[in-house]
A and B are shown apart, each in its own frame.
Chain A
Amino acid sequence: MNKKAMSAYHLTMWIIRIMLIATVAIFLGFVIYLLVVNDVGIEHLRTQLFIERALTSSDCFAYYDEQTGRYYGNIIDETRFTEEILSGCIDYGDNKYIAAKLTLTNLESQKVSKLEYDPESFKKWEPFTFDERYYLKEFRQRYVLIATQQGMQKGKLEFEVITPTG
């Protein structure tokens, strides 16, 4: 091989190598992208889903109107606001994802009802909530209507939710 040919050969080889490396780098970037997107903190979303399920599921607190045959989300049936109902309608199995304290205040009668979801985990996780890298504690409140024997009444439902991070 003469000098020119050798030089052209090496140049071509290096171009191919650089292209290959660039391809590998882009591939690695794509892998990072997938990891990052999958690693987006979903703790807030987890809390949100817990609240939505508690308030809108027919198995949880949602009020059932016999006249229309419909369940009404965000209207709480006072008789269903119990720990048995809550633990029965939201079940994560062996995976401990959520622990919560719920406080329902009737804004008309000022009656306060409290209940807990997975109180053991709540007690265990709460001391570590100062560090959001491990546990996230969130406070949320909702304006709700409470279906009581006296009719619909105004209410406030406060959630104190702890969820493991990651």
Chain B
Amino acid sequence: MNKKAQWGLAPTIGDWISWLVIVVLMIVATVIFSHHAAQVKNAIQETSLNQENGYFMLNLMRTPLEIDTKKGVMSDLVALWVMNDKYQDQLTTQISTILDLYYNGKVNWVIEAKSASRDKSISNLDLTSTIKAKLKRIGTRESSIDIPLTINPDDLFASITLTVYYGSVQENSWCFDPLTEACTETGAGHDMLCKCERVGFKFIWTDCVPCTGTCNPVESVCS
């Protein structure tokens, strides 16, 4: 090959390599930055959801009610319950009433309280039965707040976490009240027929199988 031919070919290969570099870099950049954009969007939505959950808890805790014929708010009742089990029934009734009205139907919930010397929880769940049912979507709201405990100087604050289960559930998530929640989900894909098993003090959906037929929530069969 002569000199001209040699150097005539080289720039062509160089051009191709250069274009390849540009294309590869742009693809990489687009992938990286698209991923980053999705992360930003998720972060924004998560922040706004946390904020909504915070407001929900705040308003719940300042809901007025009567305690021992005296006017008070929900956080007083929660603080009293943390110190004394006598208030458990009233708290259960109050929380159930508000949440059922708010969600237009029966929902399940758990309140957990942690303070320096106490660690307790209540819920409106039935922890004794074993249930089989078919369920799918999950809908939960988890909110936390610290409330003062003014009775005991060694135990000043309790951290309260409220978890509300207002939708049906998915495999390996908690399962409650399956008969009212079953067969409510529509949309893409198919429903799942699951077994609700007690694991420790939780009920968890396991052994989910697809149900492409008609779901019977009472008999817990897919036909």
Chain A residues with CB under 8 Å of chain B are 3, 6, 10, 14, 17-18, 21-22, 24-26, 28-30, 32-33, 36-37, 39-42, 44-45, 48, 52, 55, 73-75, 107, 140-145, 151-152, 154, 156
- Residues A144 and B59 in contact in the complex (CB < 8 Å), given A29-B33, A40-B41: yes
| Least Cβ–Cβ distance between B119 and chain A, in angstroms | 27
Q: How far is the CB of B51 from chain A (nearest CB, A)?
A: 8
**A57 to B59 alpha-carbon distance, docked (Å):** 16
B contact residues vs A (CB 8 Å cutoff): 3, 7, 10, 14, 17-18, 21-22, 25-26, 28-30, 33-34, 36-37, 40-41, 44-45, 48, 51-52, 55-56, 58-60, 62-64, 98, 101-102
> B44, B59, B98 — which one has the most chain A CB atoms within 10 A of its CB?
B59
In the complex formed, the residue of B with least CB distance to A152 is B64
Are B44 and A44 interface neighbours, CB within 8 A?
yes
Which residues on the A side are within 8 Å of B18 (C-beta)?
17-18, 21
Q: Hey, which chain B residues are within 8 Å of A141, CB to CB?
A: 102
**Beta-carbon contact of B36 and A145 below 8 Å:** no
> Which residue on chain A has the smallest CB distance to residue B15?
A17
| Distance A52 CA – B7 CA, assembled complex (angstroms) | 67
By the criterion CB–CB under 8 Å, are B22 and A29 in contact? no
Residues of B with C-beta under 8 A to A45? 44, 48
Nearest CB on A from B102, distance (A): 5
On whether the beta carbons of B64 and A22 are closer than 8 Å, the reply is: no
Given the contacts A10-B10, A18-B21, A25-B22, A142 and B33 also touching, CB distance less than 8 Å: no
Cβ-Cβ contact count across A and B, 8 Å cutoff: 100
Could you tell me the distance in whole angstroms from the C-beta of B222 to the nearest C-beta in chain A?
31
12 sample A-B contacts, Cβ–Cβ < 8 Å, listed by A number: A14-B10, A18-B14, A21-B21, A26-B29, A32-B33, A36-B36, A39-B37, A40-B41, A44-B48, A107-B98, A144-B59, A145-B63
Complex formed: what's the CA distance from A141 to B166 in Å?
13
Question: Closest Cβ of chain A: how far from B101's Cβ, in Å?
Answer: 5
Q: Which residue of B lies closest to A141 (CB)?
A: B102
Contact of A40 with B33 in the complex, beta carbons under 8 Å: no
Nearest residue, chain A, Cβ from B54: A74
Q: Could you tell me the dominant secondary structure of chain A's interface residues?
A: helix
Q: Could you tell me the distance between the alpha carbons of A154 and B64 in the complex, rounded to whole angstroms?
A: 8
CB-defined contacts of A48 to chain B, threshold 8 Å: 48, 51
Residues on the B chain within 8 Å of A28, using CB? 25-26, 29
User: Contacts A37-B40, A154-B63 known; A21 to B22 CB distance under 8 Å?
Assistant: yes
**Residue of B with least CB distance to A33:** B33
A55 to B102, CA, bound (A): 18
Inter-chain pairs besides A28-B25, A143-B60, A154-B98, 7 sampled, C-beta below 8 Å: A18-B21, A32-B26, A40-B44, A44-B44, A52-B51, A74-B59, A75-B59
* Shortest distance from the beta carbon of B107 to any chain A beta carbon, whole Å: 12
Residues in A with CB closer than 8 Å to B3 are 3, 6
Contact pick for B21, options A25, A36, A144, A154, CB 8 Å: A25
Within 8 Å by CB of B55, from A6, A32, A74, lies A74
Chain B residues near A6 (CB-CB < 8 A): 3, 7
Taking a contact as CB atoms under 8 Å apart, the answer to whether A44 and B14 are in contact is no
Chain A proximity of B193: nearest CB distance (Å) = 29
**Docked pose: A74 CA to B61 CA in angstroms:** 12
Q: How far is the CA of A77 from the CA of B122 in the complex (A)?
A: 33
Chain A residue numbers with a CB within 8 Å of B22 are 21, 24-25
Q: Do A107 and B21 have beta carbons less than 8 Å apart? A: no
Residues of chain B with a CB closer than 8 A to A142's CB: 52, 55-56, 59
Interfacial chain A residues near B58, Cβ < 8 Å: 74
